[in-house]
Amino acid sequence: MSRENRPVWVVPPYTLRIDPSGLQIVSWPDPGLRSRATHVPSAEEVALVAPRMVELMHEASGIGLAAPQVGLPWRMFVTCVPDADPVDRVFVNPEIHLDLCGAPPQPYEEGCLSLPDLRLDVLRPKGASISATGADGSPFELSDAGLLARVWQHEYDHLEGRLIFDLAQPVDASLVKRWRKVHDAQ
């Protein structure tokens, strides 16, 4: 979805409103995917947007979706990983802590809902812990040393303006160049 087709924000005093039904997954090269996200404005906004983000993630058969991927500059993402954590989770203003002392970083093939048809080997630490606020406003902490940790890292990268082709193994560099050429032409 192009920037001009994004939902219109109406900014009354002290609140930020958006029609969540207008949210759609944006694709690269949308400039919002390269911007560092900011804190979520309010719990009210989370309550409006989180269900739509979960819906979009499931419609696209994804296991994670970050707010920048739906055109929102917020530090928020949602996940549902059927084989590891089969519940819809909302992470608001998350902080991630990587386990850099454990096993060496592992390569694993990743895809991204904002980079259709591109799958790349990405090297990441195996373990991570994360602290965030949930959709209900309660803080929580989780730890994992498997697929969940990878999903959290991937979605957190979106909040920092990083994409999988920024982290791809060197062997995949030529694939990324070909993919970019095809998608830039569209």
Q: Which amino acid is at 3?
A: R
What is the Cα 88 distance to its own chain's centre? Answer: 14
Active-site pick, 95, 109, 141, 155: 155
> 95: which residues sit within 8 A by CB, 6+ positions away?
130, 131, 132
Q: How many CB atoms lie within 10 A of CB 24?
A: 15
Catalytic annotation present for 160: no
| Other beta carbons less than 10 A from residue 46's beta carbon | 23
Strands (DSSP E) along 125-180, which ranges? 127-133, 139-144
Residue 91 phi/psi, 5° resolution? -115, 110
Question: Coil, helix or strand for 130?
Answer: strand
How far apart, in whole angstroms, are the C-alpha atoms of residue 56 and residue 43?
Answer: 20
Compute the residue count for the chain.
186
Residues acting as catalytic residues: 155
